[in-house]
Structure 1
Amino acid sequence: MCGIIGIISSNDNRVPKKITEGLNRLTYRGYDSCGVAIISNGKLEIVKDVGTVDKLEKIYKVSEKRSFIGIGHTRWATHGRPTQENAQPHADCDFKIAVAENGIISNCYELDSELEREGHIIRSRCDSEPVAHIVEKYLKKGMSFEESVLKTIPSLKGLFALVLISVHEPDKIIAVRNGNPLMIGIGNGENYVASDLPALLSFTNKYIPLKDGEIAIITSESVTIKDFNGKIVVRKPFITDLTPESAEKGKFETFMLKEIYEQPTVIQNAILLAETKYMDKFVKHILEADKVFMIACGSSYNASLVASYWFNKLAGMCIPAVIASEFNELYGNSVDEDTAIIGVSQSGETQHVVTTVKQAKEKSAKILGVINVLGSQLMYLSDVYLPIGAGPEICVLATKTYMNQLMTLFLASLHTGLESGRIDRSEFSNYLSLARKLPEKLLSTINMSDKIMPKLSGRYYKQQSILVLSHGLNYGTACEGSLKIKEVSYIHSEALPSGELLHGHLALVDDKMLNVFLLTKDDTMEFTLGNMSEVHSRNGKIIAITAGEPVGEEFSSHMVIVPEIDPLLSPFLYVVPLQFFAYHLAKKLGRNIDQPRNLAKTITVT
């Protein structure tokens, strides 16, 4: 979704430059248009346009402007086309108030009509502009800036985060959280607010996540947090050990490539973070529940799908992975106090996940979170949560966060198997030992894939469609590989359990169709080989991915061999060649790899 930032300083008038730096770190949240609002010499100035922050800087020289206070916005369009008029921030009629918003104000058109009847001039078709006009209305009635914002909130429907500045009170930024994330950064003579932590890392390592239903009054020297009723909230700041460099590309051409190469390192964080008392509590809730579900979206759903197989194989438990937006229609009426919901979300803010979790919590279900971002909604909603420790992921596509979700969920299923008595201590120790050896195998797989996949992508980048197939445990891996291909290359791709080929999908296979098979060396392999034979006999092109000694060579146009590995851990390695295949397809096609069209990193709308 959109990215917003605000900065106020007591002694540094280079705030506009800092805002553009922060916006550049938020472009994964939206890149249709962007803008900056500052107060200088008692006047509000807004510059905004279609396109990137770099384009805005080139045209308007934002970094050369001087101000001690400002807000910025980078947009992923939901209401109104990407135009200069719809770009944010927006102002009121008198150009005294500026607002930037992330989310959706669902009654915006009704508010526009009402405001126009009152004589207000609405300049855009963006859902956030009415906020500035409503605040303007209350300011003209003699209310303070803070009072006007609090009075405005009840008239807004939807889920949103706001940052506002006003020439009437130029010594403060007001931030509002109603469903969408905001982090308050604590500095020295300077304070900050932003949608995500990466925007703050160049300025501070101290931050306070706002919770739903809270407003922050931010000056250069203080931060006051209140609920929507005006009651003061006291909360200690978090201190992060992340560095600004963790949110930069460094020597890599793209963030996606950097984050793929980081996987052998960050997966070790997931292993260390799982060995805590929180894992014990997590497993205890699973074992005490009559019903357990995993809910997630996108790549997090694919990781959960793999984990469903692990919970079955290691713990003998049926824990289905369910797409969060479909959960209530499928299982909502079965949720009660004996239910545990495992919510899996990189951001911890994915709206379908958060909404479903809230509804389950209202029915007294236990909530178990698997998250990457501390201070997120899912963290606060959870009875117990497991952090995956992947660090900032700037590319819109999930790579290292998917890998760490896999590891966290694998270890959760392993501990559940031990505590349930399904596996003994010896089996537990063996699998844990194998997991700890994965970084070396991952690095080997990365190096191999980065050499092989440019050639394969050069051969297949003109494909109209690609099928990715597997049977059993790696079906979830096939789903993730297929998602990566379509997300970044824009080539249509579909993942299938290979056994489904004969149930209609084989009609798609001809000498033009590329089929990628994942061969797991377990009791599913013979079935998958049979499916490969069926495709081969119809002249389908086949890339086969397997571990150790090659199998299925007689059916394959190309073999990709990852290091020998226990089949139960094969999803960790098999996904890497698929990540690189998608990457190099996109590179060959000239796609914007870190910022694919129409996509954003954190989906905080429904």
Structure 2
Amino acid sequence: MCGIVGYAGNKNIESVLIVGLVCLEYRGYDSAGIAAFENGEIEIRKEKGKIKALEAILKEKPVFGNVGIGHTRWATHGEPSTINAHPHTNAKSSIAVVHNGIIENYQKLKNQLLEKGHVFHSDTDTEIIPHLLEEELKSGKSIQDAFLNLFKTIEGKWAIAAIFEKDPDKVYFAQDGAPLLLGKGDNEFFLASDVSALIRNSVYVHFLNKKEWGFFSKDKLSLFDFQGNEIQPNFQKQEIKWEEIDKGGYPHFMLKEIYEQPAVFRKIIEKRLNGGEGLHFPELKISNELLSKVSRFVIQAAGTSLHSGMIGKHYLEHNTRIQTDSEMSSEFVYRNPVVEGDTMVIAISQSGETADTLAGIHEAKSKFVKVISFVNNSNSTIARESDAFIDILAGPEIGVASTKAFTAQVIHFFLFSLYVSHIKWMTNDGERKALLEEIRLLPSKMETILSHAPIIEKWAEDFVNTKDFVFLGRTYNYPVALEGALKLKEISYIHASGHAGGELKHGPIALITGDVPVVCIAIQSEIYPKMLSNIQEIKARSGKVISIVTEGDVEARKLSDYTFEIPSCSEILSPLLTVIPLQLLSYYVAIKRGCTPDQPRNLAKAVTVE
């Protein structure tokens, strides 16, 4: 969840670390801090709040130097505060550490250190690390040996960076399950939790594998495994451009990413359809023979990715006639799921680092089941630990509330289902061709929806003081109702719940009053009359109805207080269009309420702890 940066070179340490932390702020913004060498001593600056608060401290008390580490925090152990902010040090401030992840046995280790006379000031698990290292160094061990012993002592999934007063030219680092990357420049090395923090300075990056550690000065890098064996880094050229992680004139990343969806889909269509009627997944290193033998898919994911997986279940069952289940990763892991050799698990994660989803992969592999992952980062831990992966091609997504990654996941589920159905001879050529032609029209239909965004922006003014929302959808659009509710509560802090339309009478209808807006996804389809019945039931109880309808709709419009039209499309592809007005609604309501959509409270982009 947290963000780590490190640097050794000739540049001013303060500016390098701050630029890196700003790029990682989506990973956590409860507090931030840096540790750097100045005249041979470690200087610490840290502050509660966002990175702007740290920058204010640095204006008053700047740090001058060329080697250091930094951190932006999402709180796990201990409340957001300056004391709990990283970096943490030992008593003499001769060791400074930043950390991402959780030390699961920290309380036991802390008690042992307390018995030895160590004094702690924070409530974090991180603070034990510099004290453990201090104990190792006091016994006469080298820094390298102290690090190796540390790995044997602490338990959990984590990444750390550290600097030592006795070795002021170097940054030390290690990872055991949490992401960490190295960047190489001209007589300089960089460290970061995500490639976005390296783009400005490093063309070549090395993604640390699990149980790798090392250290670097400005002109030398040494890399090892946890047994102490030296290994060679695999630096590769990173292709992300700075413009992709810049707001590009938009007020917020979330709005930019909503508007990027047509371009993302054009890229997906170009790469996957490749101008013809075939489907292309060149990165999917799994045989057609194996796919043809799958008798059951289990999709496991969390949050927005779970909602895309629920739609994926519909697609796989409709197009391949293969039984498919969708499950929360956090529940899948701990219920001893029944999966057999001809079952295939599909893991979904935008970041490729989601801890619950990664644990689900390990659970599946422990039962000798093959895993395909849908990820937005082909170098992520989940991609590397799966048997195969599909890159959803959404491009960097910085806003904490996922938008373009959701629709990219959904379209890839649809294309993958067609791919498997072709292998199993389940879809005739005419039907397949018609569906692919309709997919080619989606970008322009998305642009039509976005051109009417001012309608929703105006609506948002009516919901500034609303306390509750209800979202309803059926079949393919039930998961969209869940996603719409999630988006609204994530960034506007309005309580919202999503339900299947058929379940309205089984409890949720008790929530309906004149103060509770109900968003109804009522597009033209087989279940359109059923959604009209839902709207009638809501109006009979004085509820406010916001309808998402097909252009030209008459009946739902008559019954609704607010109506937004989307271009006509088949029901099976409709989630790719119906979700966009819900994304816009959540964004504009958040703005009108004075909320910050890119950095909603208590949330972080990558959930790397269970």
TM-score (norm 2): 0.96
Superimposed CA distance per residue, residues 156-190 of structure 1 (whole angstroms, 9 cap, x where no aligned partner): 12211101111211222121111111111122211
Task: Report what 1:133 is aligned to.
Answer: 131
Distance (whole Å) between structure 1 residues aligned to residue 61 and residue 435 of structure 2? 53
Report the residue type matching 1:437 in the other structure: L
Out of 319, 328, 331, the residue aligned to residue 314 of structure 1 is 319
**1:64 to partner: Cα distance:** 4.8
The 1:577/1:16 distance shift into structure 2, 3 A limit, reads: same
Letter in 1 for 2:464: Y
Change (3 A) 1:273 1:208: farther
DSSP 3-state at the match of 1:416: helix
Specify whether residues 333 and 59 from structure 1 end up closer, same or farther in structure 2 by C-alpha distance, changes over 3 A only.
Answer: closer
Q: Which letter does structure 1 place at the counterpart of 2:409?
A: Q
Query: Which residue identity lines up with residue 492 of structure 1 in the other structure?
Result: H
- Is the counterpart of residue 154 in structure 1 residue 157 in structure 2? no
Counterpart-to-counterpart distance in 2, 1:435 and 1:359: 35
Deviations 1:428-472 (A, max 9, x none): 222122212211111111121x21111111112222111110110
* 1:211 corresponds to which of 209, 212, 215: 209
- 32-41 or 544-553, which deviates more: 544-553
Aligned match of 2:338: 334
Shift of 1:508: 1.4
Please point out which of 532, 546, 551 is paired with 2:549. 546
Distance 1:579 1:268 in 2: 20
CA distance in 2: counterparts of 1:456 and 1:427, whole angstroms = 39
**Mapping of residues 275-286 of structure 1, within 5 Å:** 275-279=280-284, 281=286, 285-286=290-291
Instruction: For 1:149, give the aligned amino acid.
Output: F
SS of the counterpart of 1:552? helix
Counterpart amino acid of 2:246?
Answer: E
With over 3 angstroms needed to count, the CA separation of the structure-2 counterparts of 1:259 and 1:121, relative to structure 1, is same
Structure-1 residue corresponding to 2:3: 3
2:578 counterpart of 1:574: yes
1:477–1:574 Cα contact (<8 Å) kept: yes
For 1:382 and 1:419, locate their aligned partners in 2 and report how far apart those are by CA, in whole Å. 22
Query: Where does 1:41-80 land on structure 2 (aligned, <5 Å)?
Result: 41-61=39-59, 64-80=62-78
Task: Within 5 Å, give how 1:253-332 maps onto structure 2.
Answer: 253-274=251-272, 275-279=280-284, 281=286, 285-330=290-335, 332=336
Q: Which amino acid aligns with 1:318?
A: Q
Contact 1:286–1:292 (8 Å) recurs in 2: no
CA contact (8 A) 2:43 2:63 kept: no
- Structure-1-length-normalised TM-score: 0.96
**Partner in structure 1 of residue 403 of structure 2:** 399
Deviation at 1:62, TM superposition (A): 8.3
**Secondary structure, aligned partner of 1:364:** coil
Stretches of structure 1 lacking an aligned partner (at least 5 in a row): none
Matched, 1:516 2:523: no
2:463 is matched with: 460
Would the aligned equivalents of 1:145 and 1:168 in 2 still touch at CA under 8 Å?
Answer: no
The aligned residue for residue 346 of structure 1 is: 350
Larger mean Cα displacement after TM superposition, 520-529 or 364-373:
520-529
Is residue 465–residue 493 contact of structure 1 (8 Å, CA) maintained in 2? yes
What does residue 276 of structure 2 align with?
none
Q: Which residue of 2 aligns with 1:24?
A: 22
Cα pair distance change 1:287/1:329, threshold 3 Å: farther
CA pair 356-444 structure 1, distance change in 2 beyond 3 A: same
Q: 1:306 to 1:193 in 2, by over 3 A?
A: same
Matched-pair contact (CA < 8 Å) for 1:370–1:387: yes
Count of aligned pairs: 602
Shift of the 580–283 alpha-carbon distance from structure 1 to 2, 3 Å rule, reads: farther
Q: Tell me the CA shift for residue 584 of structure 1.
A: 0.8
Distance in 2 (alpha carbons) for counterparts of 1:291 and 1:150: 43
Contact 1:282 1:384 in 2 (8 A): no
1:259 is displaced (CA, Å) by 1.0
Are 1:16 and 1:62, in contact at CA under 8 Å, matched by a contact in 2? no
CA contact (8 A) 1:278 1:385 kept: yes
RMSD: 1.7
Deviation for aligned residue 1:74: 0.6
Alpha-carbon shift at residue 85 of structure 1 (Å): 1.1
